[in-house]
A and B are shown apart, each in its own frame.
Chain A
Amino acid sequence: MVSKIGQLKIQEMIFMIVAVALLFVLVGIFFLSINLSNVKQTATSLAEQNSILLVSKVANSPELSCGNAFGTSRTNCIDFDKLISLSKKTEYSDFWGVAKIEVRKILPDEGDKICDDSNYPNCGIVNVLDKNVKILPYSSNFVSLCRKETDGKIIYNKCELAVLLIASEDKTQ
């Protein structure tokens, strides 16, 4: 009789352990299914992270950086001349791995005037890249937009404050 009660208790415990294990497995499957359904969102999030990383380093890339053209080497400094040249080049459209790159001058505020050969350097926005696709929110970073300027007497370095905006393609739809 005692042994039968003992067996019953062991059985109870086994059932309980199996039930709990089953519960954990079900919960695991539930979250796994959610995770798998979010693969597209993860891809989007990775693209967004890429734009955040790019925005913090693109100003120092050889394609845009001031280098030593304005005296000593500077960080977060974009050569305005290089920028204007690059904005006309379509060969770079796949180089950056993002959907949109824009530089907006914020001091002095030149408004929404798009930069081209006719209004350079008195303009507000340089479109470096625009793939015309649906984009994610912009990642932004401050940069110094520098060029050589003259007032008739001397040639000097003219650096203005600008914001670099980068956005990745929204692939959720």
Chain B
Amino acid sequence: MRSKKGQEEMIGFAIIIILVSVGLLILLSFFIRSPTKGNTESYQVESFIQSSLQYTSDCENDIEFLSLQNLIIACDNKEKCLNSRDSCDVLNSTVVDLINSGWNVGNQSVVKGYNLKITINGQDKLTIKEGNETSNSKGGFQDFARSGSNYEVSLNVYN
């Protein structure tokens, strides 16, 4: 009987020790955990898209040099630039240049890959992918409308 009571007390003591240890571990994890630095943030992806849409391309029409946003619309309308280049070709090369300048993609880099998509009325117009798609990603999109068409530019950056 006495031995059983001793056992019960030991079990109780063990439970308390376990509870205290778990509490300590949780507290410790809060203190040790430091914010991850260097990772891409969503606002950076959003601002990249917004800034890129304002970028002035080499494609000129009768009035001006087209911004990327106007270049997407020109490509949708199958227009040509003043120098006879196809607006879709200029769009493709401009987007590639912008992404390569903005994101340094590589296995040793913070950015492991990206996926950029331009859709017009829900239909894919241009998709550019590079690197690996990881589970840690940040994304953003920007949409605009012109002459009854809806344009959407989305970008996912994988860390």
Which A residues touch B98, using CB under 8 A?
Answer: 107, 161
B18 at interface (Cβ–Cβ under 8 A)?
no
Interface residues of B in 92-141 (CB under 8 A from A): 97-98, 101-102
Which A residues touch B54, using CB under 8 A?
Answer: 74, 76-77, 144, 146, 159
**Do A27 and B64 touch (CB < 8 A)?**
no
Minimum Cβ distance to chain A for residue B41 (Å):
8
**Do A27 and B24 touch (CB < 8 A)?**
yes
**Do B101 and A106 touch (CB < 8 A)?**
yes
Most buried by A among B24, B43, B47, B54: B54
Which B residues touch A34, using CB under 8 A?
Answer: 31
A160 at interface (Cβ–Cβ under 8 A)?
yes
Q: A76-B51, A77-B51 are in contact. List 4 more A-B contacts (CB 8 A).
A: A141-B44, A142-B50, A161-B98, A161-B102
**Do B101 and A154 touch (CB < 8 A)?**
no
Which A residues touch B24, using CB under 8 A?
Answer: 27
B1 at interface (Cβ–Cβ under 8 A)?
no
Interface residues of B in 40-65 (CB under 8 A from A): 41, 43-44, 47-48, 50-52, 54-56, 63-65
CA distance A144 to B101 in the complex (A): 13
Pairs across A and B, CB under 8 Å, 17 listed: A23-B20, A56-B43, A59-B47, A74-B54, A76-B50, A76-B54, A137-B37, A141-B43, A142-B52, A143-B51, A156-B56, A157-B67, A160-B55, A160-B56, A161-B51, A161-B55, A161-B102
Minimum Cβ distance to chain A for residue B151 (Å):
16
CA distance A76 to B102 in the complex (A): 15
Which A residues touch B101, using CB under 8 A?
Answer: 106-107, 109, 161
Q: Which residues of B contact A (CB under 8 A)?
A: 13, 16, 20, 24, 27, 31, 37, 41, 43-44, 47-48, 50-52, 54-56, 63-65, 67, 97-98, 101-102
**Do A143 and B47 touch (CB < 8 A)?**
yes
Neighbour of A31 across the interface among B31, B50, B51, CB < 8 A: B31
CA distance A74 to B51 in the complex (A): 9
**Do A159 and B55 touch (CB < 8 A)?**
yes
**Which A residue sits closest to B65, measured CB to CB?**
A156
**Do B55 and A144 touch (CB < 8 A)?**
yes
A75 at interface (Cβ–Cβ under 8 A)?
yes
Minimum Cβ distance to chain B for residue A171 (Å):
18
Interface residues of A in 15-58 (CB under 8 A from B): 16, 20, 23-24, 27, 31, 34, 52, 56
**Do A20 and B20 touch (CB < 8 A)?**
yes
**Do B56 and A157 touch (CB < 8 A)?**
yes
CA distance A63 to B79 in the complex (A): 38
Which B residues touch A159, using CB under 8 A?
Answer: 54-56, 67
Neighbour of B50 across the interface among A75, A137, A160, CB < 8 A: A75
Minimum Cβ distance to chain A for residue B54 (Å):
4
A131 at interface (Cβ–Cβ under 8 A)?
no
Neighbour of B64 across the interface among A20, A52, A157, CB < 8 A: A157
